[in-house]
């Protein structure tokens, strides 16, 4: 197995969890339980198993509850990026936490659940990483391995791995899993305050520096309360 490209990840956990209501009326989405485990622990356990020793977790909505939960963890070691005063979205969240993040770093959503294939997700990304040509490398899954996903897909990918947005009126063959490997170069000259990573991705696409890596496992869309039961059934089957 190839070595990891980074020993650090950022876990995006600051969102309001509106699509998961009413379960998020009194708890942050990362603490919603799936298969008897909070969503964020599914992600943190995968990071620990892969050998990633440090995570930066951003917090905003019901931050006290999330911080109290994270204090119970031994591995990975958790650093809090506090966004209580202002929710910075994905791009702004990375920029705020950049001083605690090496170059490159993994970044993933706190509500991600997946089953690894022959290699884990982070080694899949590390095996494809080329810092000379890439600003970011997104882990992508085809529709057939994306449980609960009902959309039209996110990206097209050329034979070299360069990716582009879904074209109007088309089905895109690849779905973004919410997991990526990010170079500090992606964050250069970033806007101030809150903004989406999409702004930085668009620049990288124009420069031919946004790439994708095919995921060898199965990924689950867990965005609504209705998606929890089928996800739990699939996890039981393994």
Give 59-78 pLDDT, tens digit per residue.
999 999 999 999 999 999 99
Stated as kind and residue range, the H or E segment containing 64 is helix 63-70
Distance CA 111, CA 90 (A): 14
CA angle 56, 214, 99 (to 5 degrees): 20
Is 90 exceeded by the pLDDT of residue 237?
A: no
Interstrand relation of 8-12 and 54-59 (parallel, antiparallel or unpaired): parallel
Evaluate whether 129 touches 211 at the Cβ level (below 8 Å): no
Average pLDDT over residues 202-223: 95
Stated as kind and residue range, the H or E segment containing 67 is helix 63-70
Q: Look at residue 2 in the predicted model and tell me its pLDDT.
A: 60
Distance CA 113, CA 39 (A): 7
Give 213-227 pLDDT, tens digit per residue.
999 899 999 989 999
Average pLDDT over residues 120-144: 96
Greater confidence (21 vs 169) lies with 21
Q: Where are the beta strands (DSSP E) in the chain?
A: 8-12, 33-34, 37-38, 54-59, 77-82, 105-109, 113-115, 136-142, 146-147, 155-157, 163-165, 174-182, 210-214, 218-220
What's the distance, CA 150 to chain centroid? Answer: 19
**pLDDT class for 168, splitting at 50, 70, 90?**
confident
Is 70 exceeded by the pLDDT of residue 202?
A: yes
Evaluate whether 122 touches 47 at the Cβ level (below 8 Å): yes
Distance CA 125, CA 49 (A): 15
Distance CA 129, CA 112 (A): 21
Give 84-130 pLDDT, tens digit per residue.
999 999 999 999 999 999 999 999 999 999 999 999 999 999 999 99
Q: Look at residue 170 in the predicted model and tell me its pLDDT.
A: 84
Q: Look at residue 238 in the predicted model and tell me its pLDDT.
A: 72
Give 87-99 pLDDT, tens digit per residue.
999 999 999 999 9
Greater confidence (108 vs 167) lies with 108
Closest CA relative to residue 61, chosen from 41, 39, 88: 88
- Of all residues in the chain, the percent with pLDDT exceeding 70 is 99
Is 60 exceeded by the pLDDT of residue 1?
A: no
Q: Look at residue 58 in the predicted model and tell me its pLDDT.
A: 98
Evaluate whether 56 touches 97 at the Cβ level (below 8 Å): yes
Closest CA relative to residue 11, chosen from 50, 43, 37, 51: 43
């Amino acid at each position: 197995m190839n070595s990891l490209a980074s020993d650090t990840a950022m876990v995006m956990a600051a969102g309001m969890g509106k699509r998961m209501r009413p379960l998020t009326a009194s708890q942050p989405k990362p603490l919603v339980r799936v298969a008897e485990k909070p969503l964020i622990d599914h992600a943190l356990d995968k990071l620990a198993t892969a050998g990633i020793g440090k995570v930066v977790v951003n917090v905003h909505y019901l931050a006290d509850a999330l911080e109290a939960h994270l204090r119970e963890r031994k591995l990975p070691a958790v650093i809090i990026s506090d966004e209580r005063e202002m929710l910075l979205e994905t791009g702004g969240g990375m920029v705020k936490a950049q001083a605690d993040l090496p170059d490159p770093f993994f970044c993933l959503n706190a509500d991600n659940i997946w089953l690894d294939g022959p290699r884990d997700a982070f080694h899949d990304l590390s095996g494809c990483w080329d810092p000379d040509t890439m600003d970011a490398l997104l882990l992508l899954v085809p529709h057939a391995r994306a449980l609960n996903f009902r959309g039209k897909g996110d990206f097209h990918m050329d034979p070299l791995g360069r990716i582009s947005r879904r074209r109007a009126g088309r089905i895109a063959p690849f779905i973004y899993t919410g997991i990526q490997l990010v170079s500090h170069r992606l964050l250069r000259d970033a806007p101030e305050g809150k903004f989406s990573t999409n702004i930085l991705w668009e620049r990288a696409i124009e420069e031919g520096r946004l790439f994708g890596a095919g995921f060898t496992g199965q990924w689950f869309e867990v965005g609504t309360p209705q998606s929890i039961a089928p996800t739990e059934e699939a996890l039981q089957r393994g």
